[in-house]
Amino acid sequence: MNNSHEFALYIADLTCLKVGAGHTIKDQDLIHRMVHVLRLQQNDQLVLFSRTHAFVCTLQAHSKKELTLNVIAPKEIQAISPAVHVILPMLKRTALEEALYSSVELGAQTIQLVFTEKTPHTKIQEKDLERYERILISAAEQCKHFCFPVVHAPIALEQALKNIKHSALNIFGDPEGVSYKTILDDQKNNKKNTQENPDITLLVGPEGDLTPQEKTVLKKYNFLFVHLTPTILRAQQALTVLLGLVRSL
């Protein structure tokens, strides 16, 4: 009997897959995951995806050394509109991992890590970026968001602000801000804003918030300050709420 739940698995390179053809997997870790963790059986369906391709496949046969799939059909990898770009301060390890995971679940397109006045300016190693990538992949497999974001190594906050597209709608989560509904109403009434679905840039502060000087810089880059909840949120929670607001409308 086929699984009612369709699993999705990431494989870095799928350029060799052809619809209607078989595909053999010899990666022992992947075989173990499919057979013993996900407990896939013959004729069960799953999705294999990379950053550029995705295919619906069925499991045909497996042994201890290899597993054979039948490639049924391509699956479209489509970015969610509008494009949402996250500027994320360097947080403590667990908080940062939660924020990265939520960014994938809620359809962020890019994630730019930044150093602020209140974040430790720790040098990021290649192994750290590889760990971040594994978190993004895990989230993409779970939520089936195959056009998942790229995370960029941290830079100074103001440098990240300079890289923002001129036409973007820039939003910062701040307890002193206005409601998101107010911003939406202003956007609708602003006749100068002729672009229907502008890119959106989202920023939350680190633990302890941005400094007053940093907030002044945000205003120079036309950031709108949005009030999220009547309670104080941790940085990763604030990002999740802000992403949810944007994606719910």
Q: Which of 54, 74, 94 is the last residue of a domain?
A: 74
Q: What is the pLDDT of residue 130?
A: 96
Structure tokens at 130: 């590889």
Q: What is the CATH number of the domain that holds 16?
A: 2.40.240.20
* Prediction pTM value: 0.90
User: Is residue 172 located within the same domain as residue 202?
Assistant: yes
Q: Are strands 84-89 and 45-49 parallel, antiparallel or unpaired?
A: unpaired
pLDDT at residue number 63: 87
Domain that holds residue 45: 7-74
From 25, 55, 74, give the residue that closes a domain.
74
For residue 144, how many other CB atoms are within 10 A of its CB?
15
Name 17's Cβ contacts closer than 8 Å, sequence gap at least 6: 23, 48, 53, 55, 71
pLDDT lower than 50: segments of the chain:
1-3
